[in-house]
Amino acid sequence: MKRYILRRAGYCALSLFLLSLTIFFFVRVTGDPATLLVEPGASRADIAAIHHQFGLDRPLLVQYWLFMVNLFHGDFGQSFYYQVPVLQLYLSRLPNSLLLAAVAMGLSLLIGIPSGILASVHVGRFWDSFGKVFSLLGLSLPSFWVGLVLILVFSVYLGWLPSSGAGTPLHLIMPAFALGWYFAASHMRLTRSSMLEVLGSEYIKLARLKGLPQSLVIAKHAFKNALIPVLTLAGINLVIMVNVAVVVETVFAWPGIGRLLYEGIAFRDFPVVQGVVLMGGAMIVVVNLLVDILYAVIDPRIRLEK
Amino acid sequence: MSTPADVISLPARAPRSTFWSSLRRAQFPLIPTLILGVITFVAIFANQLAPHNPEVGSLVARFRPPFWMAKGSTEYLLGTDQLGRDVLSRLIFGARISLVVGFTAVIFAGVIGTALGIISGYLGSWADQVIMRITDTWLALPALTFAIFLAAIVGPSMWNIVIILGLTYWTRYARVIRGEVLSLKERDFVKLAIVAGCSKWTIMRRHLLPNVINTAVVLGSLMLGVVIIAEASLSFLGVGVPPPEPAWGLMLSDGKQGLMVGYWWLTVFPGCCIMLMVLSANLIGDWLRVKLDPQLRQL
């Protein structure tokens, strides 16, 4: 158990190291950050001064070392545009992103789990086909387009919901739906396949042989066990949602992390872009580690295999 | 007991097998193939089919609605955008961009992923460790965010997007192909090739590659939809295909200007095009998956 967790944690650290290396490498190699800081047509002396100020004239390895040391001190650099530390900016936007992701997750589970159960109980019949079409649409419609169409219908024509911004629960509905839409499809698929697996097991047969009514078999015996993988996926997806909401947040001008990334790109604000991507990657790596550990605690087969 | 006569008379009773019925029995996705075919045709002959220049508009004809609406005219069948450019012509040329970006990016990702998957799976030991750790790290990155990050630093251009999407989406190929190779390399024909003195390179190229190419094609067809949506998202955010080129994602981004005043055609038409294309690609991919590779049904 200890060895398993240690190895997983080692992989996790390695992933984080590669992540920082990749991001550092791409930012430094694909262009001179100094040219982004100065006005076009700045003199060589100005550029050299900026190089010196930000330590860009030092060897690459030294730069990377300093970059890492700063990271460990929680220093992600200073935003060019807002003139405040990136971490502060990030943390001020994080609650909004989490709120949006949580509501979107709730919606996607509310749609995905019941439809998945319906499909698994009626395999090959109407509800199953309906579910298939639904999940196909979920995977094929770009979330930002769903968002735009929602704005068109509910803000422009019906005037029921505000088209952008944040503040009231009404502001949350459309972005949460646009974001949750895609994930509802994937939750439905997993619920269906997980339910089918459980429904084929021996103890379900036993429950049926005992003469339990169908509703009780489904609700009490099958559903509870089928829920475990779905909730795991939902946990991972919640973190992914925070990080892929860029386009949806841009459409609805939702002041979250995705919007921050978009602003960072629009204003050529490099430290912000770098910080958001780093934090996103780190979050996912850590969540994967937690899931691995959790599974090892629950299931001895996992921790005992080589 | 069946008599020989029964057996002989069987074919006569069976319905005549035509081209169409054999397609239906194979559950061939006819409509998606037709849609993708039409899109491809339109993309190839865009120069001949488009009624107007997609990049030049006339400012006197801004925000014209589609022809069936009150102020619409048959000159601009699907209306015009904020610069008076013909929406239909832009959609037609946009098909070209989506197809070119989609296919080349999928192939590019496929080449990287398949090569790494074969090397990692066949060589094993440290090569496997290194490649798989890199793959894991790459998988940990939120793909779209990473693509946006790359696009933002290298600057927008169509070919940059192809390279970026290729670099972002190769991981799934690498993982799946490695798994296939792990089981393939225990098979007799590979062992015989080793005994016959083939070099590692020859084995990977001549014996392993042909055996995993089916899987790569299936994965590619399933990736096509993902990549097209990713391209549209990048263009929508302004880090994809640069204006004034008529990419569908870019058209949606332009369409935002008319959204609040109800110029719905600028948002609905490009979105429908993306949806039709992605939906078709997914349906064909699903069919190929079941047809070519039963092992992949779980994906």
pLDDT in tens, A187-204: 888 888 888 888 888 888
What is the token pair recorded at B187?
A: 């098979």
pLDDT digits (tens, 9 = 90+) for B170-218: 988 898 888 888 888 888 888 888 888 888 888 888 888 888 888 888 8
Asked if B152 lies within 8 A of A284 by C-beta distance, the reply is no
Q: Please report which confidence band the pLDDT of residue B293 belongs to, taking 50, 70 and 90 as the band edges.
A: low
Q: Is B64 in contact with B73 (CB distance < 8 Å)?
A: yes
Q: What is the mean pLDDT of chain A?
A: 81
3-class secondary-structure state, position A184 = helix
Share of chain B above pLDDT 70, in %: 89
A-to-B residue pairs, Cβ atoms closer than 8 angstroms: 131
DSSP per position, B250-275: HHHHHHHHHHTTT-THHHHHHHHHHH
Asked if B149 lies within 8 A of A262 by C-beta distance, the reply is no
What is the token pair recorded at B119?
A: 């090397």
A30 to chain B: closest CA residue: B154
Q: Which amino acid is at A209?
A: L
Q: Which amino acid is at B148?
A: I
Phi, psi of B86 (to 5 degrees): -70, 125
> Could you give the CA distance from residue B44 to residue B21 in angstroms, rounded to a whole number?
31
Q: Please report which confidence band the pLDDT of residue A40 belongs to, taking 50, 70 and 90 as the band edges.
A: low
Report whether pLDDT(B42) > 80. yes
> Could you give the CA distance from residue A87 to residue A74 in angstroms, rounded to a whole number?
7
Q: Is B117 in contact with B178 (CB distance < 8 Å)?
A: yes
What is the token pair recorded at B159?
A: 């070919």
Pick from A244, A275, A223: nearest CA to A74: A275
pLDDT of residue A38: 65
Q: Is B235 in contact with B157 (CB distance < 8 Å)?
A: no
Min Cα–Cα distance to chain A from B130, Å: 11
pLDDT of residue A141: 85
What is the token pair recorded at A256?
A: 């979250």
> Could you give the CA distance from residue A221 to residue A204 in angstroms, rounded to a whole number?
7
| Residues forming beta bridges with residue A85, ordered by sequence position | A78
Asked if B141 lies within 8 A of A280 by C-beta distance, the reply is yes
Q: Is B248 in contact with B270 (CB distance < 8 Å)?
A: yes
Asked if B141 lies within 8 A of A277 by C-beta distance, the reply is yes
pLDDT of residue B10: 45
What is the token pair recorded at B278?
A: 């992605």
3-class secondary-structure state, position A95 = helix
DSSP per position, B179-241: HHHHHHTTSHHHHHHHHTT--HHHIIIIIIHHHHHHHHHHHHHHHHHHHHHHHHHHHHHTSSS
Chain A contact for B229 (CB, 8 A cutoff): yes
pLDDT digits (tens, 9 = 90+) for A125-135: 788 888 888 88
What residues of A are in contact with residue B232 (Cβ under 8 Å)?
142, 145
| Facing A152 at nearest CB: one of B149, B154, B259 | B259
pLDDT digits (tens, 9 = 90+) for A207-254: 888 888 888 788 777 887 788 788 888 888 888 888 788 888 888 888
pLDDT of residue B104: 94
Q: Exposed, middle or buried by CB within 10 Å (0-12, 13-18, 19+), for B262? A: exposed
> Could you give the CA distance from residue A274 to residue A65 in angstroms, rounded to a whole number?
16
What residues of B are in contact with residue A137 (Cβ under 8 Å)?
279
Q: What is the mean pLDDT of residues B110-139?
A: 87
Cα separations in angstroms, A287 against A12, A92, A240, A294? 10, 21, 10, 10
pLDDT of residue B126: 85
Q: Residue B56, Cα to own-chain centre: how many angstroms? A: 29
Mutate to test the interface with A, among B153, B224, B231 (most CBs of A within 10 A): B153
Q: Which amino acid is at B95?
A: A
Q: Please report which confidence band the pLDDT of residue B106 belongs to, taking 50, 70 and 90 as the band edges.
A: very high
Min Cα–Cα distance to chain A from B216, Å: 20
pLDDT of residue B7: 45
| Residues forming beta bridges with residue A145, ordered by sequence position | none
Pick from A275, A221, A293: nearest CA to A93: A275
pLDDT digits (tens, 9 = 90+) for A134-162: 888 888 888 888 888 888 888 877 877 77
Count of H-run helices and E-run strands, chain A:
15, 0
Sign of CA dihedral B184, B189, B195, B196: negative
Q: What is the pTM for the complete model shown?
A: 0.82
pLDDT digits (tens, 9 = 90+) for B1-18: 444 444 444 444 445 556
User: Packing angle between helix A270-298 and helix A86-121, nearest 10 degrees?
Assistant: 40
Q: Which amino acid is at A159?
A: G
User: Packing angle between helix B171-184 and helix B209-237, nearest 10 degrees?
Assistant: 170
| Facing B145 at nearest CB: one of A149, A151, A261 | A261
| Residue B176, number of CB atoms within 10 A of its CB | 22
| Residues forming beta bridges with residue B80, ordered by sequence position | B86
Cα separations in angstroms, A254 against A93, A145, A261, A263, A275? 10, 16, 12, 12, 19
User: Packing angle between helix A257-266 and helix A270-298, nearest 10 degrees?
Assistant: 150
Q: Which of A8-22, A151-165, B84-98, B231-245 has the lowest mean pLDDT?
A: A151-165
Pick from B42, B200, B181, B209: nearest CA to B120: B181
Q: Which amino acid is at A162?
A: P
Asked if A19 lies within 8 A of B279 by C-beta distance, the reply is no
Q: Exposed, middle or buried by CB within 10 Å (0-12, 13-18, 19+), for A248? A: buried
Q: What is the mean pLDDT of chain B?
A: 81
| Facing A140 at nearest CB: one of B149, B267, B278 | B278
Give chain A's radius of gyration (CA, Å): 24
What residues of A are in contact with residue B262 (Cβ under 8 Å)?
152, 156-157
> Could you give the CA distance from residue A147 to residue A249 in angstroms, rounded to a whole number?
10
> Could you give the CA distance from residue B231 to residue B223 in angstroms, rounded to a whole number?
12
Q: Please report which confidence band the pLDDT of residue B268 belongs to, taking 50, 70 and 90 as the band edges.
A: confident
If one compares B82 and B160, the residue with the highest pLDDT of the two is B160
A132 to chain B: closest CA residue: B283
